[in-house]
Amino acid sequence: MRLTVAQATVAFLARQYTERDGVRRRLIAGCFGIFGHGNVAGLGQALRQAAEDGGDSLRYYQCRNEQAMVHTAAAYARMTDRMSTFACTTSIGPGATNLVTGAALATINRLPVLLLPGDIFATRVANPVLQELEDPRSYDVSVNDTLRPVSRYWDRINRPEQLPSALLAAMRVLTDPAETGAVTLAMPQDVQAEAYDWPDELFAERVWHIPRPVPEPAALDRAVAVLRSARRPLIVAGGGVTYSGANEALARFAQATRVPVAETQAGKGALPHGHPCAVGPIGVTGSTAANTLAAEADVVLGVGTRYSDFTTASRTLFADPGVRFVNLNVAAFDAAKLSGVMLVADARAGLEALHRALDGWAAPERDWTDLVARWDAAVDAARAPAPGPLTQSQVIGAVNDAARPGDVVVCAAGSMPGDLHKLWRSTDPKQYHVEYGYSCMGYEIAGGLGVKLAAPEREVFVLVGDGSYLMMAQELVTAVAEGVKLIVVIVDNGGFASIGGLSEQVGAARFGTAYRFRSPESGLLDGDPLPVDLAANAASLGAQVLHAESLDDLRAALTKARAASATTVVHVRTKLTGPGAPESGAWWDVPVAAVASTVEGPAARRAYEAGKAAQRGYW
């Protein structure tokens, strides 16, 4: 079959499928793209031709920002448990380099996305072309090389003959639960348009079966021996629980063995709120209940977690001197962390194997209900109505109350992910979608679009702060254009609340964290508040806009937004400072200046050194 390289790529991607447990999905659900001279005549022409030819072709979606399209693809992949994703195509130059942040987010979160950036001429006859880097060390370097360190697989297609092996390698990585992340195939613009006679078998329907690796018997024996010795065990449930569909297996295992379950950001909702074994969020943004049990634990069973610094409180949380770890993870890289007993397996298959091997064993009886009840009371107090301006905690509580079991909340950066981890009460494994591996400002609206594309039957609430909104709100236009309904709650507090609080903690006195004019007297950005109207901006992008000044206003606006048929923005003003979510009692390692002449500096350094004293550098 004679096709261009771009046409062959599109035809191949349209025929790739995944399968797990009898459920089959398209691996590449569609292609996001912004066209320029590096891809318009190649992939742009190929996508247009495929649309005109009809059939089961790769659907094209127009986006407004290259970084945002990768966020949308990653959110879609997460919502489909990594069974499906999108391709993203850009031109060479700024379009390609705009992919880097999105690629890093996808790889850090172990989410598959396929990147198809244009590249400079392979033939070099027109060099230097527009937007070419011109690295004097080698003509083989382009800006696409910036994607190498943030991609799990990277290749450049300099000849048509290279395409089949590169495409197959890309699909292998995208569908490998242990290796997945961003995959980049750099496509020189002249090669994209080059014709070649392709073998028909390249375009045959191909099904990639997602494996459920089972534990190696000797490793299972070691893990069982450690668990049987436990007196105060704790389970830390990460995102791998939900990706593998292990939620029911986790519930059965926890109840049979009497082991409490704490949840990471990605693992929140692994057990529903109110489950007798659920003790809430863990770590820096966790609950006092989970963190108290973590400090006492003598054995920790980590399931599908990568043990980020927020989960371990920068390695200060698990305080028992003899604490041991059993790490059940599909990726050996994560299973080896904290010198744990490695149980390399699918989360569901691994939990089922542990359950069988531990038949009849249960941990000594303990009562954590009072710890959980005290935390729940603190959450109730933070979410309750109170005099004065709305607080962020009250906004989260109102959205949580408005959400039904099948709905989804989306967030990513600032102070809201921490507050959501503490305050949100999940009733469904897919209800809580907070990107906290990269905590990327600007993910929220683009991510919400990906969630809604993956699950159109669910109502999607996007919680976004003013800082993140100003970073990247353009995909509101995409949602409007595609007729995709989102409920976007803009929490406008006039600054960077999260970093403002951290700034105070480290002795920097909220420097540069409020949105204000520069003061002629001080020369600093501490003048009057800026007259930025985010609601008007959202309306200008095509969204319906509602305003809420009080808790009753907010509840009414959320009801109206649910009833709407189009993307609706609810604009809420809150205070930049004031009462927040309950404290977790955990510490986070953010180095403080060893020498400072500011008033706050010495005290901040002493507090830092006190926290550092409890840190364990090696397990």
The values of phi and psi at residue 233, to 5°, are: -75, 160
Per DSSP, the residues of 52-106 read HH-SS-PPEEE-S-HHHHHHHHHHHHHHTTTS-EEEEEE-TTHHHHTHHHHHHHH
CA atoms of 233 and 257, how far apart (whole Å): 10
Q: For the residues 194-210, what does the mean pLDDT come to?
A: 97
Q: What is the predicted pLDDT for the residue at 578?
A: 67
Mean pLDDT of 244-272: 98
Q: What pLDDT is attached to residue 517?
A: 93
Tell me the mean pLDDT in the region 436-457: 97
User: What are the structure tokens assigned to 74, written together?
Assistant: 């990653």
Confidence of residue 498 (pLDDT cuts 50, 70, 90): confident
pLDDT computed for residue 285 by the predictor: 97
Average pLDDT over residues 174-185: 98
Q: Angle at the Cα of 60 (from 58 to 65), degrees rounded to 5?
A: 140
Say whether pLDDT at 6 is over 80. Answer: yes
Type of residue numbered 12: F
User: Phi, psi at residue 90, to the nearest 5°?
Assistant: -140, 170
Instruction: Please state the rounded mean pLDDT for residues 298-324.
Output: 97
> DSSP assignment of 351-378, as one string?
HHHHHHHTTT--PPP---HHHHHHHHHH
What is the tens place of the pLDDT at every residue in 64-96? 999 999 999 999 999 999 999 999 999 999 999
Nearest to 124 by CA among 113, 112, 139, 110: 139
Average pLDDT over residues 213-240: 98
Q: CA-to-CA distance for 355 and 251, rounded, in angstroms? A: 11
SS3 content of the chain, % helix, strand, coil (to 5): 40, 20, 45
Query: Does position 506 have pLDDT exceeding 90, yes or no?
Result: no
Reference 27, options 146, 200, 167, 192; nearest CA is: 167
Residue 388 Cα to chain centre, angstroms = 34
Percent of the chain at pLDDT exceeding 70: 99
Residue 459's pLDDT band, with cuts at 50, 70 and 90, is very high
> Tokens 């095509």, residue?
542
pLDDT band at 494 (very low <50, low <70, confident <90, very high): confident
Question: Which has the minimum average pLDDT: 236-250, 343-357, 502-516?
Answer: 502-516
Q: What is the overall mean pLDDT for the chain?
A: 95
Between the two ends of the chain, the Cα-to-Cα distance in Å is 57
Q: Residue 220's pLDDT band (boundaries 50, 70, 90)?
A: very high
Q: Band the pLDDT of 57: cuts 50, 70, 90.
A: confident
Unique residue bearing structure tokens 């990706």: 243
In the structure, what pLDDT confidence band is assigned to residue 4 with cuts at 50, 70 and 90? very high
Answer yes or no: is pLDDT of 412 > 70: yes
Question: Would the pLDDT of 504 be above 70?
Answer: yes
User: pLDDT digit string (tens) for 351-395?
Assistant: 999 999 999 999 999 999 999 999 999 999 999 998 888 999 999
Pick 341 or 577 by higher pLDDT.
341
- Residue 43 pLDDT greater than 70, yes or no: yes
DSSP, residue by residue, 542-593: T-EEEEESSHHHHHHHHHHHHH-SS-EEEEEE--SSS--SPP----------
234 touches 293 (CB < 8 A): yes
- DSSP, collapsed to helix, strand or coil, labels residue 388 as coil
- Indicate whether 619 pLDDT > 70: no
Confidence of residue 33 (pLDDT cuts 50, 70, 90): very high
Average confidence (pLDDT) over 320-348: 97
Does residue 503 carry a pLDDT above 80?
no
Q: What is the pLDDT of residue 401?
A: 97
**Helices (H), strands (E): how many in the chain?**
24, 23
Tokens representing 23 are 């459920």
Kindly give, in sequence order, each residue whose CB lies less than 8 Å from that of residue 611, ignoring residues fewer than 6 positions away. Answer: 316, 587, 589
Strand (E) or helix (H) holding 185? strand 182-188
Is the pLDDT score of 120 beyond 80?
yes
CA distance 104 to 106: 5
8 A C-beta contact, residue 279 and residue 368: yes
Structure-derived torsion over alpha carbons of residues 403, 408, 413, 414, reported in degrees to the nearest 10: 0
Tell me if 485 sits within 8 A of 566, measured CB to CB. Answer: yes
CA distance 384 to 522: 39
Calpha distance 115→88 (Å, rounded)? 5
Domains of the chain: 2-209 (3.40.50.970), 217-371 (3.40.50.1220), 384-494+532-573 (3.40.50.970)
Query: Is the pLDDT reported for residue 114 higher than 80?
Result: yes
SS3 of residue 201 by DSSP: helix
**Buried b / exposed e along 124-143 (16+ C-beta atoms within 10 A):** eeeeebebbbeeeeeeeebb
CB 279 within 8 A of CB 422: no
Determine the pLDDT at residue 56. 79
Interatomic CA distance for residues 94 and 117, integer angstroms: 10
